[in-house]
Amino acid sequence: MTSMQAEMTFSENTAGAKAVDVPKIFRLVKPIQGLRQFIGKGGWYERFPEYEKCISRFSWMIIIAAAIYLTPVCINIFVR
């Protein structure tokens, strides 16, 4: 009877299936760690003028995308 219980416990064990997703999380953490090292150790303030144009463009794209996305919502609110 104990071997039957062991088989039931083994078949219901789902903890092993969740361990497969762990590497996906670590893939997302590496760029964040790289950014933290760049800010903490690097001379980012010296290289910032080189990236300022790209950062500005990216920021404007986010602002424009948010405006396009939220315009119908705002129109619906004011039309009510």
- As a whole number of angstroms, the distance between CA 68 and CA 71 comes to 5
* Tokens representing residue 48 in the block: 């910032």
The whole-number pLDDT of residue 66 equals: 96
Q: Phi/psi of residue 14, each to 5°?
A: -110, 0
pLDDT in tens, the chain (80 residues): 555 554 445 555 555 555 555 556 566 667 778 878 877 887 777 877 888 888 899 999 999 999 999 999 999 999 98
The whole-number pLDDT of residue 43 equals: 76
Beta carbons of 69 and 62 less than 8 angstroms apart: no
Predicted TM-score (pTM) of the model is 0.44
